Amino acid sequence: LAKTTQPISMDSYEGQEVNITCSHNNIATNDYITWYQQFPSQGPRFIIQGYKTKVTNEVASLFIPADRKSSTLSLPRVSLSDTAVYYCLVAPRDQAGTALIFGKGTTLSVSS
Amino acid sequence: DSGVTQTPKHLITATGQRVTLRCSPRSGDLSVYWYQQSLDQGLQFLIQYYNGEERAKGNILERFSAQQFPDLHSELNLSSLELGDSALYFCASSDRTGGETQYFGPGTRLLVL
């Protein structure tokens, strides 16, 4: 599995756009990039998944450059409720025996 | 609400004891994953089952075991408990065999005294 590297923590203010970058230099051809959000004492929640270029949903956007060695999760106009830990995960889909490595994630703190 | 249920929500027990955590996946999901999350370790993958069969193993101790039953619910058994086993235990499910979007349950908080 590709190893991922994310910043340990980030700070922001309400209303700002937040970009969290994840490095995955050893990403394989069949790997997908998935981001999860976790609030204290709750299970992680799926945010967005992509393979290449840009993916957008009602919560976030995911930017993946052509070489796929990194990805950026973009949260538009964050609010206090976006304070959470964000995990970047790189893994193949539909491949048996995939042990998913979540890492430490990025702790985002949003202030007013 | 992810559709994944876990029981019990909280569990307090003593060292040396054995406990069983239960997970019911989302309707239609064949894969169940177990994770352990402690304050200093982050989210650690333990084991995955797909349609009743073990598919992937992570950092699961020999004192821990799991199984998935024909109705697809899963149980994680923790025995000879130690203080360091105190953690949040999450179950997640997905509809395929590996690497896909996972839906996490609310977790079971285990406290070993």
Which residues lie closer than 8 Å to A58 by C-beta, 6 or more apart?
none
Owner of token pair 């395929």:
B96
DSSP letter for A5, please: B
Identify the bridge partners of residue B22 per DSSP, sorted by sequence position. Answer: B7, B75
Identify the bridge partners of residue A66 per DSSP, sorted by sequence position. Answer: none
Contact A94 B102 (CB under 8 A): no
How many Å lie between the alpha carbon of A36 and the closest alpha carbon of chain B? 9
pLDDT by 10s per residue, chain A, length 112 = 568 899 999 999 999 999 999 999 999 898 899 999 999 889 999 999 999 989 999 999 999 999 999 999 999 999 999 999 999 998 887 666 666 778 789 999 999 9
How many Å lie between the alpha carbon of B43 and the closest alpha carbon of chain A? 6
Closest CA to A88 of A67, A74, A109, A73: A73
What confidence score (pLDDT) does residue A96 get?
65
Highest mean pLDDT among A106-110, B41-45, B100-104: A106-110
What confidence score (pLDDT) does residue A1 get?
59
Average pLDDT over residues B18-35: 95
**pLDDT score of B10 more than 90:** yes
- Greatest alpha-carbon span in chain B: 38
Of A34, A44, A95, the CB nearest to B98: A95
Chain B residues within an 8 Å CB radius of A97: 55-56, 98
**pLDDT score of B107 more than 80:** yes
Mean pLDDT of chain B: 92
* String of DSSP letters for B54-102: EEEE-S--TTEEEEE-TTS-EEEEE-S--GGG-EEEEEEEESSSSSS--
Closest B-chain CA to A47: B101
Contact B98 A49 (CB under 8 A): no
What confidence score (pLDDT) does residue A47 get?
94
3-state class of A83 per DSSP?
Answer: coil
Contact A45 B104 (CB under 8 A): yes
Closest CA to A75 of A32, A1, A15, A7: A15
**pLDDT score of B99 more than 70:** no
CA distance linking residue A106 with residue B3, whole number of Å: 26
What confidence score (pLDDT) does residue A93 get?
75
**pLDDT score of B100 more than 90:** no
Band of residue B98 on the pLDDT scale cut at 50, 70, 90: low
How many Å lie between the alpha carbon of B37 and the closest alpha carbon of chain A? 10
Chain B residues within an 8 Å CB radius of A38: 43
Of A93, A96, A102, the CB nearest to B55: A96
Number of neighbours of residue B65 by Cβ within 10 angstroms: 14
**pLDDT score of B80 more than 90:** yes
DSSP letter for B3, please: S
